[in-house]
Structure 1
Amino acid sequence: MGSTGGRRVGRPRAAHRAESGLTPREELLAVAAELFTTRGYAATTTRTVAERAGMRQASMYHYVSGKEELLAELLESTVTPSLAYARELLAQDTVPAERRLWELCRADVELLCGGPHNLGGLYLLPEVRTERFAGFHAVRTELKDAYRQLLAGTAAGGALAKSELDLRTDLVFGLIEGVILVRRSDPERPVSVFAEATADAALRIAGV
């Protein structure tokens, strides 16, 4: 998540706008999510984000350091909740690993597809490869490792060689992250139905 260190001091705007009920930072994130996924990250200026959020560009810097911080937080919002849930599932030793893996896949798809914007598409931005987004990559890597641990705990996964287990993990994780593109072609289908079907497919890929 972004840091507030080194930001300009002064008098910021009101705590929230009555129309939305969001805090200024929440509004900036909501606006950035819409603009980054519709206009494109490079084509979106900080001035446009600020004005769409109902504030001056200078006021924006009371809440975020700029576009990179907004993008970093949006990216992390697509993985952090799933990682927290994955940790809970890993601790549930009495539940079969097959069931826990299916549940993680289902919940992860619901997170990726449940929002109003295609945030998963931002993963492909060239800017995301830079060091500024190391936090996102660290969380994503930990989430992928949770998938690997759950897969290894299944009867099928436990019988695999390390290289094969790694490949199955890559395939399952790739399917989950790729659902945003599939979802766009069928946006009217209920997210819960789509998530359950994807989880079923992921377990077939895993060999379960």
Structure 2
Amino acid sequence: MHVRRASSSDLEDLVDLCLQARAESGVGRQLCSDDRALLRDQLAVLASVPDGVTLVATCDGEPAGMVLGRLLGPGLLSGTLVLSLDAVYVRPHQRRRGLGHAMLQSVAELADAAGATDVYAAPLPGSRGMQRFLARLGFAPAAAHRTVGTGALLRRLALDVPAPARRPASRGLEDLIERRRRARARAAGEPERARQTGASMSMQVSRAVHRRLPSASSTTTS
């Protein structure tokens, strides 16, 4: 049993391991592409960059497992360097032989040498064995990831039109107080207007009656 950094001669074996992990996981493209040529190019780039982590594990000289990851940070959201594991995989017939433990031992030593304060792992949904294995080694939940296709997201955004913003509750309360104030002002003004209207009507009636009365000096003779 041996764990070492992958070299260019290990690329085809790593591609095989990635495709086997993809088929076993059931989440398809969330893990990797199914295009061998594309996978080979991606793995070659990961192995060549300074912050890339590509480990291959062999058992009796046969490729049996792999670790793929990256050293990340410091960045905007973290002030420390961390080692993020994208994939930890052991072939089914090579499991329960200590290979996963040996690979994580190499990961821990690499992280310590690089000055990484934490090791992150994102086991695939449904991989209960890997979940239990990581929990046994002290890995605790840190965050949850969600994924959506770009096309599906664009369609949902087009349908999910935001509703018009409601006025703040405080503004609605101010409007209610103002309406009540105006109503009270109108109610207080009604008696005065009624009195003025009644006085005006009395004067008009008095004038009309006065015009229609007969003159006191008028007489008739036979």
Q: TM-score, normalised by structure 2?
A: 0.28
Q: Which has the higher strand share?
A: 2
Q: TM-score, normalised by structure 1?
A: 0.29
**Which is bigger in relative contact order (C-alpha 8 A, separation at least 6)?**
1
Q: Which has the higher helix share?
A: 1
